[in-house]
Structure 1
Amino acid sequence: MHKGSCLCGVVQFTVTGDLPAPSACHCVACRKHSGHYEASVDIPRTALDITAGQEQVKWYQSSPKVRRGFCGTCGSTLFWDPVFQDWTAVAMGAFDTPTQTKLSMHIYVAEKGDYYDIADGLPQNQT
């Protein structure tokens, strides 16, 4: 089990099971939502349990197919949720406990910011 929370600690969650390798998304929407590129891990929605502060999780519908979850108190980026799927993505920075995983790839690098380089040797997908 993996535990996580927002910056102020109001929202707390657990994820059951092993975490697959996360990806780092460099698209404009993820950069604006997170303040930089966003690293997240896709998990079955049934593996996520918001254990405290569910009423403080606010959702922004960023496109017809995706909503983004964040803490309504401190603003922490927490979730990326494709509403027509059976999985959700959890922001890697929100985990409080070791994740025992590593980044697998970078996506949407065609939209990455000009202020940084990607030099970790991982695969880079343009979209």
Structure 2
Amino acid sequence: MHHGSCLCGAITFAVTGSLPAPNACHCVQCRKQSGHVWASVDVDRGALTVTGTPTWFASSDKARRGFCATCGSFLFWDPLLGDKTAVAMGAFDAATGTQLARHIFVSQKGDYYDIADGLPQNPR
């Protein structure tokens, strides 16, 4: 079981089971909402338990983004189709035992940094 929360603790979550390898997203939306790169792990919705009420922002016709209305922590990226939800890696309370798998949307990355860790870089 992996536990996490927003900065103020109004929203907590738990993920049952092991976590798959996370992604680092460099898209414009993730950069604007998180302030930089957003690392997240895709988990089965059935393995995710959320306590508290996230505020949801419909960021596109394909997905919504969940955050805490009190402290502003960006916690979830939730596609409208499919059975997985992306959970912010930085919101977990303890070590996750995972390693970053890949970078996505690198075609939209900021010009102020380089990606030099040798991991796969997907344009989208």
1:94 to 63, 75, 91: 91
2:62 is matched with 65
C-alpha distance in 2 between matches for 1:109 and 1:13: 29
Matched residue pairs, number? 124
Q: Distance in 1 between matches of 2:16 and 2:3?
A: 9
Give me the whole-angstrom Cα distance separating, in 1, the residues matched to 2:25 and 2:13: 22
Distance 1:68 1:10 in 2: 17
Alignment partner for residue 102 of structure 2, among 100, 105, 117? 105
Match of 1:46 in 2: 46
- Tell me the TM-score normalised to structure 2 length: 0.97
1:20 match: 20
Matched, 1:77 2:74: yes
TM-score, normalised via structure 1 length: 0.95
Deviations 1:9-64 (A, max 9, x none): 1111100000000000101011011110110000000110013x22xx10000001
Question: Any gaps of 5 or more consecutive residues in structure 1?
Answer: none
In structure 2, list runs of 5 or more residues that go unmatched: none
Residue 9 (structure 2) pairs with residue 9 (structure 1): yes
Residue aligned with 1:63, SS? coil
Instruction: Give aligned-pair identity as a percent.
Output: 68
Name segments (4+ residues, structure 1) moved above 6 Å. Answer: none
Deviations 1:60-101 (A, max 9, x none): 000011000000100001000001111100010010021000
1:79 is paired with a residue whose SS is: strand
Q: Which amino acid aligns with 1:86?
A: D
